[in-house]
Structure formats: C-alpha cells, structure tokens
Copies of this chain bind each other. A is one copy, B any other.
Amino acid sequence: MSAKFEGDRPKSLLKLGTATLIGASAAVLISGPALAEVDPEVAYIFNTLLFLIGGFLVMLMAAGFAMLEAGLVRTKHTAAICLKNIGLYSIAGVMYYVIGYQLMYNLTDTGLTSDYFGVPGLWAGSEAAGGEGVNLEDGYASSSDWFFQMVFVATAASIVSGAIAERVKLISFFIFVAVLTAFIYPIGGAWQWGEGWLYQMGFSDFAGSTIVHSVGGWAALAGCLLVGPRMGRYVDGRAVDLPGSSLPLATLGTFLLWFGWFGFNGASQLAMGSAADASDIARIFANTNMAAAGGVVTTIILTKIWARKVNLGLALNGALAGLVAITAEPLQPAIWQAILIGGVGAVIATGGLFLLVRLGIDDVVGAIPVHLFAGIFGTMIVPWTNSETSYLVQAIGVASFGGFAFVSSFIVWLALRNSIGIRMSREDEEVGGDLTELGHEAYPEFVPGNGRALA
C-alpha cells in the first residue's frame, strides 16, 4: 500500500493497475524525453509477457531439480527420483488449481475476509478465450499470473524430494506433496503475497527465500526427521559417504536451476510495463547471476584452502545457496553486495551440510542447508540493502513461516507414518526404489549387479 512494499507482490497493488501506478511514481524519477506514460494496453502486454517468460523459465527448474537429484542419488533409486520429480510438478499444479491458489490469494474477495488464508476453491480467474474477459485495469492477463504462481508452488515441492530420497515411499511422498501444495505453501503465501498479516506488518521477501525456499526446506527437514536416515548412512555413529551416481547430471541440473532463477527472481518484479520496471528487472538479473557466481567462487576457494580438494557437489550447492540467499532481495543490492550475499549464503550452506551430519540427519542432496539455511540468511540480510525493512520484522517472518511450515509438515508426515507408512521396507531399500516401486531400472545395461538382489 505504501511505496515501502514496492517490489513485493501484493495482489491488490496489481489490481489497481501496476502500469499506471508505477508509471506515475516513476514519472518523477525518470529523466530524458518528456515522459508520455506507456499506453495501458502495451503495458498489459509487457506485464503478461513477463509472467509468461518468467513462468517458462521457472518451469524448467523442475527439470533442473530432477537432474540435480537424479545425479545425486544412487543408480538403484534414480528412476524413482525422476518419477517423483515429474509427478510432484504435476500434482502441485493440479492441487494449486483445485485448492491452493484461492487459499493463497482469495483473502479479500469474499465476506470471509481473513488475514491468514483465503477461501479455498477452484481457481476461476482466467479471462475468457478470445479476449472477452480482458480488462486493461488488471494490468496483466490473470492466466499469466496464475501460471507464474503455479510454477512457484512446484518449486517448493521439488525441494522436499531430494532431501528424503532413496527411502521414502513413493505414494506417501506424493500425498505429502498434495497437502503441501494445496494447503501448507498457500497458507504461508497468503500471509505475505496474499497481503495477509505479515505483509501488513512490513515483512519483505521479494521472490521467496522464505515463502518458497525455506518452506520447502522446513517440509524437507520434518520429512528427514520422521523418515530417518538411509540404511548404511550412519554406521557406528560415523557418517558413510554414499556418493551420487552421475555428477554431470547434477551439474546440468544446477545450470538449469540457475537459468530458471532469472525467471524466478526477475519476473517477481511483477511488471515490465515501464522503463523503471524494466530497469529493475535488469538489476535483478545481474544480481541473481552474481550471487550465484559469488557462491561458486567462495565455495571453490574455501574448500581448496580447507580440504586441498575442490568438491564439485559443494560447488554446485554453493551456486544454489547463492541463488537462494539473493532471492529475498535481488533488487536493492549493488553487484558487490550480491556477490557477498551469495558467498556468505554458500558458506552457510556448506557449514550446514556438516551440521546436519553432526546431528545425524540424512539429507541426500543438501536441500536443507541450501534452501532452508541460506533462505533464512537471505531473508535476514534484507535490511542491509533495503533500508525500508526491519531486522525484527524479518525475524518474525522467518520464525512464523518456520514454525508453521515445520509443525504442519511434521503433523502430515506423522499422520502418514502412522497410517500407510512413509518408509520403504528394508528389503525394498536395499534393492532400490527403482525395481521395487517402479519395476524397472534407470540404467539397466550399466550396472550389471544392480538387479542382483532380486535374482
């Protein structure tokens, strides 16, 4: 409502007409030729296009997560993790359509006004085909916004699959994803992006370090605690390395995530219908890239000094931690600040990996350090570069999302454990999820002994 929240994504601001609003506020600031405000229809097209480009970029992050996780699990669980990834992306879309979107954004459109969640229900906001429903005052096509929001919820779900890979039951995982994307993520989202209580308090999380990444991380942590570590991961109190099967695929996945992140952060500007918005998006692209670069360079230097060897997996996670860390505020930092934020995010994620091992938690791909720890850091560092935010409010937001996401996820995992179970049998885990849950192998010709246990 005040300029304070510019860059955040309250829905009503947009409904007031982004182009008009931002065009007006920018008019004072933009120098050069006399400013004729961008034609509302042209702004509408630009805004819609931003959501569509951002949406397809974020969609490809589903492929990024799939490849990252396929590369970091062992061969006998690889097909299963691929299925989980394409399955979760699909389930997330359906559940968000059926329930989640309205729960997240429909806070004020009914009599049941709430600051905590909207009225759940089928998303019905699509303008009619053929242009009958086009209202230029909306500022963008409702379907484009929905599409963009939908790919975000899938991201949150993707974070969970990697952490609890190699031992969670397929069907239980999918049920958890359905609950996460229908209820947990949307309710949290309502607090901020739905203009709920945290938004009103002044919490700031530009593209979702907390709302998306740490929520996914908390859900993953709850899952890890209840499903327990993989067989053979901790033997006599010592951690045993169970190396991932294909680091090139993990590298590909990381690059695809980095690529998609330009959409994730850039299109979270939510408008491209003015020169000011376009400039902001450009800043966001540069900062997003440099935070990731900072994460990689920091990890390489750190591990070279510390361990004499440079671990590829840590470098990949360093890139991702840098990306997560900058996500809460990719607009305000100068480039050097973005590099620094990314670098510190990577240090935190790297340290977090060792902390988890200490605690006996088994996170197969390092999703919790990357998405939860770096996400918390990114959210807490916002006031360093954005003077209109407060450390206290950021902390309240981080804690509120953490408490809600962790407790609700824990309850769902617990309910699943006490009903259909969440853990594969010891025999199935030994043989691998591919043969036991899917009935086929990921690489039938490559690892001859893989199917042995069944023979």
Contact = CB atoms under 8 A, between A and B. Distances in A.
25 contacts: A32-B136, A39-B42, A45-B46, A45-B277, A48-B275, A48-B281, A52-B282, A59-B262, A66-B255, A79-B247, A83-B312, A85-B251, A86-B296, A91-B297, A97-B336, A130-B280, A131-B279, A134-B276, A134-B279, A141-B278, A150-B289, A245-B444, A245-B446, A248-B442, A309-B438
B42 A144 contact: no
Contacts of A133: 279
A53 B131 CA distance: 22
Q: Count the copies.
A: 3
B294 A67 contact: no
A171 B445 CA distance: 27
Interface in A271-313: 272-283, 285-286, 289-290, 292-297, 300, 304, 307, 309-313
Nearest to A145: B282
B312 A33 contact: no
Contacts of A437: 309-310
A445 B82 CA distance: 18
A41 interface: yes
Interface in A60-90: 60, 62-63, 66-67, 70-71, 74-75, 78-80, 82-83, 85-87, 89-90
In this complex, the member of A7, A278, A297 whose beta carbon has the largest number of chain B beta carbons within 10 angstroms is A278
A225 interface: no
Contact of A297 (B94, B146, B283, B319): B94
In this complex, the member of A33, A97, A275, A447 whose beta carbon has the largest number of chain B beta carbons within 10 angstroms is A275
B311 A440 contact: yes
Nearest to A23: B41
A286 B130 contact: no
A272 B31 CA distance: 21
A82 B247 contact: yes
A44 interface: yes
A381 to B, nearest CB: 16
Interface string A90-133: 11011001000000000000000000000000110011011111
Nearest to A39: B36
A432 to B, nearest CB: 11
A30 B131 contact: yes
Contacts of A126: 283, 286, 334-335
A272 B45 contact: yes
A441 interface: yes
Interface string A224-255: 00000000000000000001111111011011
A49 B282 CA distance: 8
A339 interface: yes
Contacts of A130: 6-7, 29, 276, 280, 331
B91 A315 contact: no
A309 B63 CA distance: 23
A285 B39 contact: no
A281 B256 CA distance: 24
Nearest to A85: B251
A136 B439 contact: no
